[in-house]
Amino acid sequence: MVDKLTDQTLVLDLSGSDGNAYVVMGSAFRLIQGELGVEGANEYSSKARSGSYENVLRVTNEYLNLIDTSDSYPEVLDEYEVVTQIVPKG
């Protein structure tokens, strides 16, 4: 397990186009690369790609504070502990 980059937060609307797994991974990759370099970002990418969509979110949240603004998936997100916080729009 990597040390969480507690000062790095990724805020996305997971119900919209930002919720696409590739958008999530690309956004997270850039933030992680800025903090941990290419090696750390590649490690993240490898872990994130090795499973389901929930795995992408879970691994992303292991590295960053992932915040969902959609309020569309609270049961799933809470069950899998894949986000740091759910912030409803509005």
- pLDDT tens for 1-23 read 566 676 778 888 888 888 899 99
Q: How many domains does the chain have?
A: 1
The one-letter amino acid code at 41 reads: A
Q: Is residue 3 part of a domain?
A: no
Query: CB burial class (10 A; 0-12, 13-18, 19+) of residue 45?
Result: middle
- Does 42 fall in a domain? yes
Instruction: Write the pLDDT tens digit of every residue in 44-87.
Output: 999 999 988 888 988 988 888 888 887 766 655 555 555 555 55
- At position 7, the amino acid (one-letter code) is D
Domain containing 26 equals 9-86
For residue 60, report the phi and psi dihedrals to the nearest 5 degrees. -60, -45
Does 4 fall in a domain?
Answer: no
- Work out the pLDDT band at 28, boundaries 50, 70, 90: very high
Asked if residue 34 is part of any domain, the answer here is: yes
Domain-located, residue 63: yes
DSSP secondary structure letter of residue 34: H
User: What does pTM read for this prediction?
Assistant: 0.77
For residue 4, the 8-state DSSP code is P
